[in-house]
Structure 1
Amino acid sequence: MIKKAVIPAAGLGTRFLPATKAQPKEMLPIIDTPTIQYVVQEAVDSGIEDILIITGKGKRSIEDHFDRNYELETRLEEKEDEALLLEMRRLSDMADIHFVRQKELNGLGDAIYYARHHVGNEPFAVLLGDTIMDSVIPVTQQLIDTYDQYRGTVIAVEEVPADKVNRYGIVGGKTLSDTIMELNILIEKPSIKSAPSNLAIAGRYILTPDIFAAIEQTAKGKNNEIQLTDAMLLLLKRENIYSHRIEGKRHDIGNKLDFLKTTVEFALKRKEFSAPFLAFLKEIVAAHS
């Protein structure tokens, strides 16, 4: 059983400057909910209530978001806004959330290494803090189910167009079912000709504690950082690694265009916005056609 989750959220978010100069990109809201709250909720919905968030300099607002704010709660009580008061209290009670700082930005592999003392000798989930998954069954739960079956590292993957495989980490291996593959290769941003498939790593993992020894032995790679993909390549020599093709849609909030698309899609799902917002979009499209 997977009891713990790790959420790396230490990056600088330079693609969203100047908005991220004084606030974490993980706190950028999709309408009224910070990105990282969706990520934490996915872990909770997958049965995980012990969560470690890897932060960095200037990320204190993430801690504040999941903490109690008694002054705010008192004001809401005075206004008799019961629904909003309950929602604010739920934030601090939704999980047992811990924080540790990545002292230097040395890559995703290094960020995961900071979790070694917290997770101990247990398998654990990893959810990237700037990626939202929209699915009926939480993607992390999908990976947990696969881990329970195969008892090995599981990587979430999604199909991408063949002409875009050079933008992602790509996996290849032996097909076990419609959604599961036993991997024999992981390649970071391959050329179209050298890509073993069009299945791209999608920001969710179930890792075994053996990953920490692999990270220790991993040299700095792309961008002079310790890459998690490189560490998993070392791990692949020692144990089986599986990929799980996710059922759902991944929203990468790390780039501006996808952030805008996600905001629109989520707004159209909200009852209070759906009809008037759709009408507004149609007016905009008509005006620009």
Structure 2
Amino acid sequence: MNRQVKKAVLPVAGLGTRVLPAGKTTPKNLLNVVDRPILSYIVEEARAAGIEHLVFIVGRGQAAIEDYFDAIPEIEQALAAKGKIDILEDLRRDLPEPGQMSFIRQMAPLGLGHAVWCARHVVGDEPFAVMLPDMLMQADPPALVQAVEAYEKTGGNVVVVEPAPEGEAHKYGIVALEGRDGRLNRMVGMVEKPPPGTEPSNLFISGRYILQPEIFRILETQERGAGGEIQLTDGMVNLMKTQPFHALEYEGTTYDCGDKIGLLRANVAFALARPDLGDAARKAIGELL
């Protein structure tokens, strides 16, 4: 029986240069999609997948992330006194139970692999999820739920993938498959930004992973790769030599909220999908067009 996935690592220490100036004083993952910060949706997705402990890898100047997931008694008391119980309940829904969140400082921006490695002592010797908060996924069931269901079938390591835009596979980290039958297939390799025409598939790694703890030992001594950073992809390639990897082509739509247009598209898509706001959003968008 596969060990359950109960912890998730969220690397949120990036500088958010693609969304400046908005990200200058507000951590990029606290920028809003409709009326909630991006991280609110990511945490909701994690909880739906049975995650019990969230490990945030943060950087300097990101204390606001920790503050967001803390209670603010003054606001709660004011809302309660005014009878605004619906707003109060909405405010409280993101709050964790004591001990359900950890915040670890990544002292230097040394890459995604280094960020994941920073979580080693909290994760311990158990499988865990990695969720890239920039990548907001609109899916039913949620993307990580689909990944956990795949992991329960295959064990080992699972990487969520999706088709790259036509003719743009060379811009992404692309997976190589043993064969392609349905949405869940055994992987035999990964290639970061392959030269055009050499791509082993059109499926790129899109921001959700389930990994075994042996990845930490590999990342511990891994040399720097592309961009002078410790790359998670390089670590996974090494782990694949001894453990199985499967690629799950999930059902849903991904919005890159680290990009200005991606963030705009996410706001429109999530507003249109809201039962309480969809009609008004559709009308407002129509008027602008």
Q: Bigger CA drift: 137-146 or 66-75?
A: 137-146
The residue number in structure 2 matching 1:80 is 83
Distance of 1:273 and 1:47 partners within structure 2? 28
1:157 to 153, 161, 164: 161
Distance of 2:222 and 2:194 partners within structure 1? 20
Distance of 1:128 and 1:271 partners within structure 2? 27
The residue number in structure 2 matching 1:20 is 23
Question: Are residues 1:63 and 2:66 paired?
Answer: yes
The residue number in structure 2 matching 1:198 is 202
Question: Are residues 1:277 and 2:281 paired?
Answer: yes
The residue number in structure 1 matching 2:92 is 89
Aligned residue-pair number: 285
Relative to the length of structure 1, the TM-score reads 0.95
Give, in angstroms, the shift of residue 89 of structure 1: 2.4
Distance of 2:196 and 2:50 partners within structure 1? 38
Give, in angstroms, the shift of residue 284 of structure 1: 2.5
Question: Are residues 1:215 and 2:219 paired?
Answer: yes
2:167 counterpart SS class: helix
Give, in angstroms, the shift of residue 176 of structure 1: 6.0
1:183 counterpart SS class: strand
The residue number in structure 2 matching 1:120 is 124
Distance of 1:274 and 1:141 partners within structure 2? 25
Question: Are residues 1:108 and 2:104 paired?
Answer: no
1:183-262 → structure 2 map (5 Å cutoff): 183-262=187-266
The residue number in structure 2 matching 1:134 is 138
Q: 4+ residue stretches of structure 1 with deviation over 6 A?
A: none
The residue number in structure 1 matching 2:148 is 144
CA contact (8 A) 1:49 1:94 kept: no
What is the aligned-residue RMSD (CA, Å)?
1.4
Give, in angstroms, the shift of residue 280 of structure 1: 2.8
Distance of 1:156 and 1:94 partners within structure 2? 28
1:244 counterpart SS class: strand
Q: Bigger CA drift: 264-273 or 110-119?
A: 264-273
2:200 counterpart SS class: coil
Deviations 1:126-174 (A, max 9, x none): 1112111111112111111221222111100001134111221000121
Give, in angstroms, the shift of residue 272 of structure 1: 3.6
| AA of the residue aligned to 1:99 | F
Cα distance, 1:277–1:86 mapped onto 2, change above 3 Å: closer
Q: Bigger CA drift: 108-117 or 258-267?
A: 258-267
| AA of the residue aligned to 1:194 | T
Distance of 1:28 and 1:13 partners within structure 2? 11
2:9 counterpart SS class: strand
Give, in angstroms, the shift of residue 192 of structure 1: 2.3
Deviations 1:183-225 (A, max 9, x none): 1110111122111000000100000001111212321111111
Percent identity between the two aligned chains: 40
Unpaired runs of at least 5, structure 2: none
1:38 counterpart SS class: helix
CA contact (8 A) 1:7 1:129 kept: yes
Relative to the length of structure 2, the TM-score reads 0.95
Distance of 2:246 and 2:115 partners within structure 1? 22
Distance of 2:225 and 2:171 partners within structure 1? 16
Deviations 1:49-104 (A, max 9, x none): 21111111111111011101011111111111011112222222368111111110
2:13 counterpart SS class: coil
Deviations 1:242-274 (A, max 9, x none): 111101111110101111111111111223432
Give, in angstroms, the shift of residue 177 of structure 1: 3.5
CA contact (8 A) 1:162 1:192 kept: no
| AA of the residue aligned to 2:57 | I
Q: Bigger CA drift: 168-177 or 130-139?
A: 168-177
Distance of 1:240 and 1:282 partners within structure 2? 48
